Amino acid sequence: MILHLRAAVEQLYAVAPARFTPLRSELVAEARSAGDKKLAASIGALRKPTVAAWAVNHFVREHRDELDELRSFAELLREAQRTLDADQLRVLGRERAKRVDAVADRVAEVAAGEGQRLGAGAAQEVRDTLTALIADEDAEASVLTGSLVKALSYSGFGSVDVADAVALDDGAADDRDAGARPALSVLPGGGGETVDLEERRRARRAAERTRLQGALEAARSELRSADRQVAVLTARHEEVVEGVADLERRLAAARARLEKVTGELDEAGRIRDRREQEEAAAQSALDAHDRDQRDPEGRG
């Protein structure tokens, strides 16, 4: 007997896609028979996961340990992004696609073992979801619930949109420490001692030099920050260029396949035309033969 919504979610998102709708109806009926109309309505509103979402959910539930390496890699990449470590970003960015592909292949393999083969579209959605997991902590948390209803995607910047991505949103507050501001204080003034003019001029010059030195250090710091930002964007640019090159290779391969299939289609059409002509000639010959048999002396 289902007593609360979370138990229903645990049951529903653990079954194969073909079993989801019948089981949801059964659980709704159970809740209604128990007199809990609100629970019945909540269960009835639970959305069936897409094939890609189901495949990821199943993998998370049955092979969660196999995600540990990908999650550790995700932490390294996010740390490199936070610290603007361009060298690390470049290395990890190139490694990301290989790791995503490896885990995505395992997800597809496990799904096939359950009798659910993933088509090209679903397989790409699995890769998009794993890429989003790497990019964003909220996306990772959503995946780990094992109750995704749709695939996630990452555009390459900003955060991942996880709204309505999971069956049950706990709405838990983000308890990460925002960090404390450093305390500020004012130093007390002097005791009123007499200061001669030369000492005052030296003090002013020293203060001005300190100000200028501070401005120089601030400018250098801003320059270093700008250099890091340029390096990060350069790494991202290289990643996008590599992605475009990969897409162009795929497009070229697809065009080659299209040209081949088009040629085969044209040849099949020509063969059919010849067969049609041969069939017409055979029919004509047969008709002529039949006429000759009916009128052997050619009297019409």
Query: Does residue 43 belong to any structural domain of this protein?
Result: no
228-250 pLDDT, tens digit per residue, is 777 777 777 776 776 777 678 88
pLDDT score of 201: 53
Residue type present at position 73 = F
User: Hey, what are 177's tokens?
Assistant: 């420490």
Residue range(s) defining the domain that contains residue 56:
49-144
Question: What is the rounded CA–CA span in Å between residue 267 and residue 258?
Answer: 14
Total residues belonging to the chain: 300
89-129 pLDDT, tens digit per residue, is 888 888 899 999 999 999 999 999 999 999 999 999 999 99
80, 118 Cβ separation under 8 angstroms? no
Question: What is the rounded CA–CA span in Å between residue 179 and residue 198?
Answer: 46
Query: Does residue 62 belong to any structural domain of this protein?
Result: yes
Question: Which of the residue ranges 47-56, 192-201, 202-211 has the most confident prediction, judged by mean pLDDT?
Answer: 47-56
181-192 pLDDT, tens digit per residue, is 333 333 333 333
Q: Which of 119, 144, 169 is the last residue of a domain?
A: 144
133, 139 Cβ separation under 8 angstroms? yes
Distances (CA, A) of 296 to 137, 281, 291: 93, 21, 8
Q: Which of 144, 162, 181 is the last residue of a domain?
A: 144
Q: Give the rounded percent of residues in the chain with a pLDDT score beyond 90.
A: 49
Instruction: Please tell me which residue, 138 or 80, carries the higher pLDDT value.
Output: 138
Query: Does residue 188 belong to any structural domain of this protein?
Result: no
| Side-chain half-sphere exposure of 181, counting CA atoms within 13 A | 3
Enter the pTM of the model.
0.56
pLDDT score of 204: 60
Beta bridge partners of 166: 148
Query: Does residue 165 belong to any structural domain of this protein?
Result: no
Say if residue 137 is in the same domain as residue 212.
Answer: no
Q: How many domains does the chain have?
A: 2
Question: What is the rounded CA–CA span in Å between residue 75 and residue 95?
Answer: 14
User: Hey, what are 206's tokens?
Assistant: 């020293």
In this structure, the dihedral spanned by the alpha carbons of residues 200, 201, 206 and 211, taken in order and rounded to 10 degrees, is 100
User: Hey, what are 243's tokens?
Assistant: 């992605």
Q: Which of 90, 112, 144 is the last residue of a domain?
A: 144
Beta bridge partners of 148: 166
Split at pLDDT 50, 70, 90, the class of 2 is low
Query: Does residue 278 belong to any structural domain of this protein?
Result: yes
43-59 pLDDT, tens digit per residue, is 999 999 999 999 999 99
Query: Does residue 127 belong to any structural domain of this protein?
Result: yes
Query: Does residue 85 belong to any structural domain of this protein?
Result: yes
Query: Does residue 189 belong to any structural domain of this protein?
Result: no
